[in-house]
């Protein structure tokens, strides 16, 4: 049994498992070399040979307990036919939505368009490349994908009132997203994903209608994933009440963000916990890193816990700091 599965099933492990969100990314020099000559991000995600190499880079370098596929949550709107580009110094830039086209999209067409992602998963499962490690597939939560598809840019400055102007569009998109996120989850599991993480990166933007935008859509995906016999991790970044989220949504494990005080959470939550460390701690020094990491390890000493960050690792992170992080976690008694 893999360390993370043991944490989920037996509620304890001999070690604290560790992996990092965005561990296959720009902080790695070997990734930057590939990116130099592969400037189109979507094409890179759809190249199963290169995406396999990228997925394995942090495993080969640091020996993390799980690999997470090199892909992006916005591959789903791409699969639905919405134009998706990643522009330097801007981030994701999406095209206009054609609801009529979205309502008639064919499941086989969607699966075919994203088939290189499933090929990547199959390739990673061949020849025991990951040994005793989990292979994490992932999806964006309906709310976060809805935000990107309607806003068409990263909502770093929040959402305008105009966002909620067309409630019929929102209602239809949530229905479409529920259907196709489930298809994407099933395809990943059938191709070898041993667990699924649901990223709700912009959950903190929800100010009301939590049932409609957060709890009900995410619960639907969690129940579906569990029905396929695979654990599901939820990351509702920025929400104010993780306890209520876990009570309603019932994830196999919840990934907390770095604004959560783990000491106030520990007595209120009964599911395994993942993450929490502010990625900016990795930009400081080794002494501070050890102090901050140890805080989480101490708080969750008697609670099922997987070490991770409270958001993705930052591109400017130094390799030595990641090596030190892994040693601190591995050597903790």
Query: pLDDT at position 108, please?
Result: 96
Query: pLDDT at position 91, please?
Result: 85
Residues in the chain: 333
Please give the Cα distance from 166 to 160 (Å, whole number): 13
What are the two backbone dihedrals, phi and then psi, of residue 135, each rounded to the nearest 5 degrees?
-115, 110
3-state secondary structure of 319: helix
Query: pLDDT at position 11, please?
Result: 82
pLDDT band of 136, cuts 50, 70, 90? very high
pLDDT at 88 over 90: no
What percentage of the chain carries pLDDT values higher than 90? Answer: 88
Query: pLDDT at position 13, please?
Result: 73
Query: pLDDT at position 104, please?
Result: 93
Nearest by Cα to 68 from 31, 17, 24: 24
Query: pLDDT at position 156, please?
Result: 86
pLDDT band of 1, cuts 50, 70, 90? confident
pLDDT band of 162, cuts 50, 70, 90? confident
The DSSP output letter for 59 is H
Which of 7-11, 72-76, 248-252, 309-313 shows the lowest mean pLDDT across its residues?
Answer: 7-11
Instruction: Count the neighbouring beta carbons within 10 Å of the beta carbon of residue 270.
Output: 11
Query: pLDDT at position 214, please?
Result: 98
Query: pLDDT at position 325, please?
Result: 98
Contact by Cβ (8 Å): 44, 78: no
Please give the Cα distance from 305 to 307 (Å, whole number): 6
pLDDT band of 307, cuts 50, 70, 90? very high
Question: Strand order in 232-236's β-sheet?
Answer: 66-68, 134-140, 195-200, 232-236, 253-256, 273-275, 305-306
Query: pLDDT at position 12, please?
Result: 76
In what helix (H) or strand (E) does residue 86 lie, and over which residues does it extend? strand 84-87
For the entire predicted model, the pTM comes to 0.97
pLDDT at 178 over 80: yes
Query: What confidence tens digit (pLDDT) does each residue in 95-108 have?
Result: 999 999 999 999 99
Query: pLDDT at position 89, please?
Result: 74
Query: pLDDT at position 10, please?
Result: 83
* Number of domains the chain contains: 1
What are the two backbone dihedrals, phi and then psi, of residue 68, each rounded to the nearest 5 degrees?
-115, 130
Calculated CA dihedral for residues 100, 106, 112, 113, nearest 10 degrees: 10
pLDDT at 138 over 80: yes
Query: pLDDT at position 70, please?
Result: 98
DSSP assignments along 142-157, one per residue: HHHHHHHHHH-B--TT
Residues with Cβ within 8 Å of 86's Cβ and at least 6 positions away in sequence, in order, are 41, 42, 92, 93
Nearest by Cα to 319 from 130, 61, 133, 65: 61
Contact by Cβ (8 Å): 15, 46: no
Query: What confidence tens digit (pLDDT) does each residue in 23-40 have?
Result: 999 999 999 999 999 999
Residues with Cβ within 8 Å of 67's Cβ and at least 6 positions away in sequence, in order, are 19, 24, 55, 56, 58, 59, 124, 130, 133, 134, 135, 136
Please give the Cα distance from 255 to 305 (Å, whole number): 10
What Å distances lie between residue 157 and 14, 95, 202, 205, 210, CA to CA? 43, 19, 11, 10, 20
Query: pLDDT at position 303, please?
Result: 93
Q: What's the CATH number where 44 sits?
A: 3.20.20.210
What percentage of the chain carries pLDDT values higher than 70? Answer: 100
The rounded mean pLDDT for the chain is 95
Nearest by Cα to 234 from 112, 136, 103, 111: 136
Range of the domain at 102: 3-331
3-state secondary structure of 210: helix
């Amino acid at each position: 049994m893999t360390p993370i599965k043991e944490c989920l099933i037996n509620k304890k492990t001999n070690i604290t498992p560790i992996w990092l969100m965005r561990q296959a990314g720009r902080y790695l020099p070997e990734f930057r070399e590939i990116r130099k000559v592969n400037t189109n991000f979507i094409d890179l995600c759809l190249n199963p040979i290169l995406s396999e190499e990228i997925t394995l880079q942090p495993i080969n370098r640091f020996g993390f307990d799980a690999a997470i596929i090199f892909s992006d949550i916005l591959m789903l709107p791409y699969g639905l036919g919405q134009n998706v580009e990643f522009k330097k110094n801007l981030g994701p830039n999406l095209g206009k939505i054609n609801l009529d086209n979205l309502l008639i999209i064919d499941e086989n067409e969607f699966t075919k368009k994203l088939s290189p992602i499933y090929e990547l998963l199959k390739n990673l499962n061949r020849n025991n490349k990951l040994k005793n490690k989990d292979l994490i597939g992932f999806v964006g939560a309906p709310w976060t994908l809805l935000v990107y598809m309607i806003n068409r840019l990263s909502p770093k400055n929040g959402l305008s009132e105009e966002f909620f102007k067309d409630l019929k569009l929102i209602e239809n998109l949530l229905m479409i997203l529920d259907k196709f996120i489930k298809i994407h989850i099933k395809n990943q599991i059938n191709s070898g994903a041993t667990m699924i993480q649901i990223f709700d990166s912009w959950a903190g933007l929800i100010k009301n209608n939590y049932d409609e935008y957060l709890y009900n859509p995410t619960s639907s995906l969690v129940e579906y994933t569990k029905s396929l016999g695979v654990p599901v991790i939820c990351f509702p970044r920025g929400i104010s009440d993780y306890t209520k989220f876990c009570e309603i949504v019932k994830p196999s494990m919840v990934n907390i963000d770095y604004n959560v005080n783990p000491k106030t959470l520990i007595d209120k939550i009964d599911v395994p916990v993942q993450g929490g460390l502010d990625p900016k701690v990795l930009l400081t020094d080794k002494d501070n890193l050890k102090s901050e990491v140890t805080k989480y390890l101490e708080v969750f000493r008697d609670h099922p816990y997987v070490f991770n960050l409270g958001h993705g690792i930052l591109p400017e992170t130094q390799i030595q700091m990641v090596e030190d992080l892994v040693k601190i976690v591995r050597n903790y008694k």
